[in-house]
Amino acid sequence: MRMYSGRTTLSKFLIEQLNDAGDGGQLAGLLVDMAAAVKTIAAMTGKGALGGHYGGAGAANIHGEEQKKLDMLADEAIMDHCEWGGLVAGMASEEHEEPLQIPPDFQRGPYLLVFDPLDGSSNVEMNVSVGTIFSVLRHGSEAAPIERDFLQPGVRQIAAGYAIYGPATMLVLTVGKGTHGFTLDREIGNFVLTHPEIRIAPDSSEFGINTSNERFWEPPVQRYVSECQAGATGIRGRDFNMRWIASMVADVHRILMRGGVFMYPRDTKFPGKPGRLRLMYEANPIAFVVEQAGGAASTGRGRMLEVQPEALHQRVPVAFGSRHEIERIERYHAEYDGGTDKPYHSPLFKERSLYRTES
Ligand code: AHG
Ligand code: MN
Ligand code: MN
């Protein structure tokens, strides 16, 4: 028996999925270039402390966050692999305030590529899983793109995905025909289809949120989480489990594998910032992947993919995952906004506290 027969490599899969794209294989070509960048980043992150890549790069990004050496190396890897082939008109990255122009030596192509080169990079030195997130949009003109050209709602994405650098490196992507996962065969260097047609169950009993921010959340989010925490003794009537890796790609990957909810809501910790995560290169690509897997992706007050972006680096509240749970979170927001919910008080702060004996 042939050991590797029956394997579907990423290239074969893309040729089959995109044979009706009518673009002469250009989108498949771009995704193969992106996969090559991911392999380069997997090699760098996989060396861990031996790679000499740990530590800060000595600069901050537009969000005021320290850029790590690995953030910048991952950023360069994606630019190097994707700018030369005449497939992209321009790119935009978390690590650059302005859109990236294609060097004059190379031709421009039909697509815009937007990416978070290394998501969760604050974890990388602890050897916790990190990832890369990317989104592909169409560029409607021959001219070099400017910021306004990138500001398309997520429904206009034609491909999106993420890579997770965990015990195994995986690439999970969609071109609008379901969500599919590929595992990197390190010896051979191929991504192999291992998780076709990923589905997120509509119900779940697992949630992920940074509960240290609880006092800064809005009441509908406090209500949802406190009901999960009350478990079998509360109105949900069943116990919930909590998971938080603080690396969105890893947290979302768990949801794609076994259901659940991931939230990073709006909070008042940093007034004026509508959430922690960024719409164009974190929320939208993940929302596309989640929806294509049968899950839901919301701001709490509407479908993520319909948000009209106003700036390349804008932030947004996010709730991703099992459809019925996301619908419940949206309902709690609507009831709160409409004034029809019962007044909610966190059990942590009200007088009749969980932590005090009732008299
Ligand atoms: P990045 O490393 O690209 O800046 O993104 C980090 C994000 C996301 O991955 C994660 O869910 C969140 O930040 C973690 O936030 P906390 O520090 O509040 O846990
Ligand atoms: Mn990120
Ligand atoms: Mn990042």
| Per-residue model confidence as pLDDT tens digits over 280-325 | 999 999 999 999 999 999 999 999 999 999 999 999 999 999 999 9
Of all protein residues, the one whose alpha carbon is nearest to atom 3 of ligand 1 is 119
Q: Strand 190-195 vs strand 296-298: parallel, antiparallel, or unpaired?
A: unpaired
Q: Strand 315-316 vs strand 277-278: parallel, antiparallel, or unpaired?
A: antiparallel
Q: Which atom of ligand 1 is nearest to the CA of 65?
A: 4
Return the pLDDT at 216: 95
Give the C-alpha separation, 67 to 61, whole Å: 6
Mean pLDDT across the stretch 81-104?
Answer: 97
Choosing from 93, 276, 279, 320 the residue with most ligand 1 atoms within 8 A of its CB, the one to mutate for a pocket test is 276
pLDDT at residue 212 tops 90: yes
Which band of pLDDT confidence, cut at 50, 70 and 90, is reported for residue 343? low
Of all protein residues, the one whose alpha carbon is nearest to atom 15 of ligand 1 is 246
Structure tokens at 143: 């001219």
Strand ranges inside 177-270, DSSP E: 179-185, 190-195, 206-208, 241-242, 261-264
State the average pLDDT for the chain.
93
Give the C-alpha separation, 246 to 249, whole Å: 9
Instruction: Write the pLDDT tens digit of every residue in 325-341.
Output: 999 999 999 999 999 98
Where do we find the tokens 């922690």? 276
Helix, strand or coil for residue 54? coil
Choosing from 66, 67, 78, 122 the residue with most ligand 1 atoms within 8 A of its CB, the one to mutate for a pocket test is 122
Percent of the chain with pLDDT over 90: 86
pLDDT at residue 5 tops 80: no
Residue 144 gets which letter from DSSP?
Answer: P
Which band of pLDDT confidence, cut at 50, 70 and 90, is reported for residue 359? very low
Return the pLDDT at 350: 43
Mean pLDDT across the stretch 189-218?
Answer: 97
Structure tokens at 278: 């960024």
What does residue 55 show for φ and ψ, rounded to 5 degrees? 105, 170
Going from the Cα of 220 to the center of ligand 2, the distance in angstroms, rounded, reads: 25
Q: Structure pTM?
A: 0.94
Choosing from 63, 213, 248, 262 the residue with most ligand 1 atoms within 8 A of its CB, the one to mutate for a pocket test is 248
Going from the Cα of 176 to the center of ligand 1, the distance in angstroms, rounded, reads: 26
Helix, strand or coil for residue 311? coil
Return the pLDDT at 205: 97
Return the pLDDT at 27: 97
Give the C-alpha separation, 251 to 258, whole Å: 11
Report the residue count for the chain.
359
Going from the Cα of 312 to the center of ligand 1, the distance in angstroms, rounded, reads: 18
Give the C-alpha separation, 338 to 358, whole Å: 32
Contact between 116 and 276 (Cβ < 8 Å): no
Going from the Cα of 123 to the center of ligand 1, the distance in angstroms, rounded, reads: 9
Pocket of ligand 1 (CB under 6 A): 65, 94, 116, 119-122, 210, 246-248, 264, 276
CATH class of the domain whose range is 206-338? alpha beta
pLDDT at residue 344 tops 90: no
User: Could you state, in order of their start, the residue ranges of all structural domains in the chain?
Assistant: 2-195, 206-338
Q: At what angle do helices 10-17 and 26-46 cross, to 10 degrees?
A: 150
What does residue 312 show for φ and ψ, rounded to 5 degrees? -60, -40
Q: Which ligand is nearest to the CA of 129?
A: 1
Structure tokens at 17: 């999925």
Closest CA to 4 of 167, 135, 193, 149: 193
Give the C-alpha separation, 43 to 115, whole Å: 19
Q: In what order do the strands lie in the sheet with 159-165?
A: 88-93, 111-119, 130-138, 159-165, 169-174, 179-185, 190-195
> Distances from the Cα of 262 to the Cαs of 9, 137, 139, in angstroms?
30, 25, 31
- CATH fold for domain 2-195: Fructose-1,6-Bisphosphatase; Chain A, domain 1 (3.30.540)
Mean pLDDT across the stretch 54-72?
Answer: 91
Which band of pLDDT confidence, cut at 50, 70 and 90, is reported for residue 3? confident
Domains 2-195 and 206-338 fall in the same CATH topology:
no
Return the pLDDT at 346: 54
Return the pLDDT at 356: 35
Strand ranges inside the chain, DSSP E: 56-60, 66-68, 88-93, 111-119, 130-138, 159-165, 169-174, 179-185, 190-195, 206-208, 241-242, 261-264, 277-278, 296-298, 315-316, 318-321
Return the pLDDT at 119: 98
Of all protein residues, the one whose alpha carbon is nearest to atom 14 of ligand 1 is 246
End-to-end alpha carbon distance in the chain: 74
Instruction: Write the pLDDT tens digit of every residue in 228-262.
Output: 999 999 999 999 999 999 999 999 999 999 999 99
Q: Which atom of ligand 1 is nearest to the CA of 123?
A: 2
Mean pLDDT across the stretch 149-166?
Answer: 98
Return the pLDDT at 82: 98
Give the C-alpha separation, 163 to 169, whole Å: 7
Mean pLDDT across the stretch 4-23?
Answer: 92
Structure tokens at 178: 């379901």
Return the pLDDT at 238: 98
Which band of pLDDT confidence, cut at 50, 70 and 90, is reported for residue 1? low
Going from the Cα of 19 to the center of ligand 3, the distance in angstroms, rounded, reads: 33
